[in-house]
Amino acid sequence: MADEGIFSSALKRPLDITSFGATRIAGVADDDMPLIRTLMKVWRQRYPRNLIRTGYYGAKEGFKDFGISIPDRIKANVSACIGWPAKAVRSLADLTVFDGWTYPNGEDVYGLDELTDMNALQMAVPQTVVSSYTHGCAFLTLTSDPDSGDLLVTPRSAEWSAALWDGRRNRLATALTINDATSKGRVTAFNVFLPGVVYQVTRDLYGGWTAERYETFWPEPTVVPLVSDPQLSKPLGCSRITRPVMALTDMGFRTLVRMEASAEFYAVPKLWFLGMDEDAFSADTWSSLVSSINAISKDEDGDSPSLQQISQASMQPHSDMLKTIALVVASDTDLPVDSLGITLDNRIIELSVEEGQPQPQPVPQRPGRRQAPVARDLRHRGQKGQTTGEDRERQTP
């Protein structure tokens, strides 16, 4: 069956969505081409937004300034410093733990424990869960090793995958996974999973696509989706990094940068000299400010200049605004506000506890209940794969 090796070349830039399209692929049945073209279109449409969410998860989003109060020198040297999107993802992902399999009679007749160890599922499943909460869904593909014939379970991010949902049967209809690309982001290999069939597609030296067809003897695509918060309008899930969370992260970022800009002015007292010529100041203003002894002579009329110090602006409005933003993030993500780096007034917390008011907490039941069918599906297909893997033969259309 098709190989799911991922990216033999190290990518230094995003994938080129304009390079991923085809009107015809040699080796693909004509009846399957419409689905493949649709999958390509879905990936091209979803990839930019998935990249944005990946950026927010890794705190690599750009600074969105209004161009009003932040000096250009400070604006040019700031980088993202708020990890709320990652906190929204990890808070639930860390509650989902894959401990292995439980067998009704206590015997592993299909060798699932060996399959788990061979594919390092104890490490792969948690990573797939994190990806699922980041983008709304992630996938585990089941293929066979081209050399040994062993069943391989490969985690795939939505960044390099696309899928279609069968609403009538309430299951995955078909899926596509990108396997390789050039250093410039040009896609060169991908797999397509259809009921009973897998196509391994590669690009030749002339830019054309060629496919090899493999029969799976399974009535569904050999892909297991991990879906976060599925809905009727979005059966393949919704990301924990919602649009409000991204917008609130931008607001918090701006607030911290404003605090940084205010701190630069706060660190140096604002002094006004009345009745003094500008030439009296040295070029090294900072040395004059920190010097223990400074002297200024009278002017030519014999008048002494007067000194006035302007009180600094308070940092409290910035802190209050950041706290308000964090409270909205906590409301949107069901997180306790103290996990976002904000400490509420002790009196408010005491009253809440005394009155028995529930504290905001992540919901631990949801991730476990949502991912339990995934484990059953993976187990079922793994059992089927173990029994039929030796009988699979390569087919050509």
- Cα–Cα separations (whole angstroms), residue 20 to 87, 165, 208: 33, 21, 11
Q: How far apart are CA 117 and CA 82, in angstroms?
A: 37
Domain presence at residue 121: yes
Residue 286 domain-assigned? no
Q: Tell me, what's the pLDDT at 148?
A: 80
Structural domain of residue 183, as residue ranges? 17-234+365-395
pLDDT, tens digit, for every residue of 197-240?
999 999 988 889 999 999 988 899 999 999 999 999 999 999 99
Mean pLDDT calculated for residue range 121-148: 91
pLDDT of residue 308: 64
> What is the H or E stretch that residue 272 is in?
strand 270-274
**Residue 227 half-sphere exposure, CB side, CA atoms within 13 Å?**
21
Residue of 354 and 186 predicted with greater confidence: 186
pTM to 2 decimal places? 0.80
More confident residue, 292 or 125: 125
Angle among Cα 139, 143, 149 to the nearest 5 degrees reads: 155
The answer to the question of residue 164 being in a domain is yes
Q: Does 282 score more than 80 pLDDT?
A: no
CA 211 to chain CA centroid, Å, is: 31
pLDDT tens digits along 335-351: 888 888 887 765 444 44
Please compute the mean of the pLDDT values over residues 94-123 and round it to a whole number. 85
In a domain, 316, yes or no: no
How remote is the C-alpha of 337 from its chain's centroid?
21
Q: Is residue 206 part of a domain?
A: yes
Give the distance between the most distant pair of CA atoms in the chain: 107
Model confidence band, residue 276 (pLDDT cutoffs 50, 70, 90): low
Per-residue pLDDT of 16-44, as tens digits, reads 999 899 999 999 999 999 999 999 999 99
- Please give the average per-residue pLDDT across 272-300, as a whole number: 57
- Residue 57 within any structural domain of the chain: yes
Residue 98 has pLDDT above 50, yes or no: yes
Question: Residue 102 to residues 50, 265, 325, 380: CA-CA distances in angstroms?
Answer: 35, 63, 44, 13
Give the integer Cα–Cα distance in Å for 42 and 102.
Answer: 37
**Is the residue at 44 inside a domain?**
yes
Please tell me the predicted confidence (pLDDT) of residue 151.
Answer: 87
The tally of domains found in the chain comes to 1
Distances (CA, A) of 324 to 277, 286, 327, 340, 342: 46, 36, 5, 11, 9
Q: Which residue has the higher pLDDT, 164 or 182?
A: 164
**What pLDDT, on the 0 to 100 scale, is given for residue 71?**
83
CA 132, CA 134: separation in Å to the nearest integer? 5
Flag whether pLDDT at 270 surpasses 90.
no
| Residue 372, pLDDT above cutoff 60 | no
